[in-house]
Structure 1
Amino acid sequence: MERTFLLLAAFIFSSGQCQDTDPSRDPDASLAVCKPDITSAAVPRVAFTATMSHSLGPAMGQTTVKYGVILSNMGNGYNPATGFFTAPVAGMYYFRYTMFNNLGPTPNSMMSLMRNGMAMVTSLDGEGDDNNDSASNAAVLQLEAGDNVYIELYGSRELFDNAMRFNTFSGFLLFPL
């Protein structure tokens, strides 16, 4: 019993601790070898991709886009009922979205990536000579736990979608802070 305790104590006190770095014994040793053992630290896994499967608009006013088809939702940060991604932990996150319209001679789409009610980046497609247009945008955002990120379609604007799933919204945690 005492031997088991001593072995356990030796393991605990040696795990993630500083190592003996006497340069006279190891000329390649660095003085900065005291590092925490990060291999056992739990790093949250957060990633999602959601898509639409039906057209939307023209919107009466600014409208949150609700991507109802979930392709992945690791960490359950994206809520298809609200269209919001809610950051589970503080960190640096990457987000990307695509928009598509196929609305005849006057395509008319405009949407923004929003963080807590503020537009971060925007995509626009107005009138043109063709009727199949797409755009995308992306941003790396520093979020606090509980911050909301979502896509907003502007008033009088439209999106085209069907079973091909042209419009997507994705994001993932780069690293926690």
Structure 2
Amino acid sequence: MRRAAVFLALLLCLLWTGAQALEAKMSSSEKEVEELQRENTDLLARVTASENKSTALEARLSSSEKEVEELQRENADRPQVAFSTGLTDAGSVGPFKTDITLKFSKVFTNIGQAYSPTTGIFTAPVRGVYYFRINAWEDSGQTWTGVELFHNDQRKMRFNDYNDGGGYVSASNVILLQLEKGDVVYIVLIGNYSIYDDSYNRTIFSGFLLYAL
């Protein structure tokens, strides 16, 4: 009888110990589960934040692509006008008794084909603000050189210089003009003046459209 009681006591002790161990393991497992849940929650939050950033970046990229497409359409619709020309490779031109329109025959650039080397006249293809630059050169002694820039039949600019000895003289100027479609701009050599150009392209007439109106 005493043996049975001792055995029963030992059995109860073992069961209690096992239950305690099992409870400890369950508690540890619950903590591990809670830790994993927290990690999963943090990971989910980070993934969500990354997805939000990705969505925002995609939206910005889509917006930028639309802006680029819009700018490309605007540039495609915007008239492209620019020219740059040299006078001649033959040396001196003039002097003549009367004013003459200079024909800048060496065409370096003529985007839009608004400048005519046959006539020396630039014709505005659209209404807008245009930039023009002229450089004049002369290397003959005791000689005047000078030109005038005309807008239609109105003189808008004149400059000249006198070569009183050896060497050369040069002069240049710039003007901005608001032109209507079909307006013309050209360079006139002043009567009894001369001008010089050669393969070094010393005398240049250039212009371009700043913006259409």
Alignment TM-score > 0.5, same fold: yes
Aligned length: 140
Matched to 2:82, the amino acid is A
Whole-Å separation in 2 of the counterparts to 1:127 and 1:99: 12
Segments of structure 2 that go 5 or more residues without pairing to the other structure are 1-68
- 2:192 is aligned to 156
* In the alignment, structure 1 residue 67 sits paired with structure 2 residue 104: yes
Deviations 1:4-50 (A, max 9, x none): xxxxxxxxxxxxxxxxxxxxxxxxxxxxxxxxx96323100000000
- 2:114 is aligned to 77
Summarize the alignment of residues 29-48 of structure 1 with structure 2, pairs less than 5 Å apart.
39=71, 40-41=73-74, 42-48=77-83
- 2:123 is aligned to 86
**2:162–2:169 contact (8 Å) kept in structure 1:** no
- 1:136 is aligned to 172
1:107 to partner: Cα distance: 2.4
Whole-Å separation in 2 of the counterparts to 1:159 and 1:38: 47
- Structure-2 change in CA distance of 1:46 and 1:127 (3 Å): same
Segments of structure 1 that go 5 or more residues without pairing to the other structure are 1-36
Percent of aligned pairs sharing the same letter? 37
1:131 to partner: Cα distance: 3.5
Whole-Å separation in 1 of the counterparts to 2:188 and 2:211: 26
* In the alignment, structure 1 residue 146 sits paired with structure 2 residue 182: yes
TM-score by length of structure 1 reads 0.75
**RMSD of aligned Cα (Å):** 1.4
Matched to 2:176, the amino acid is V
Which one has a bigger Cα radius of gyration? 2
1:130 to partner: Cα distance: 4.5
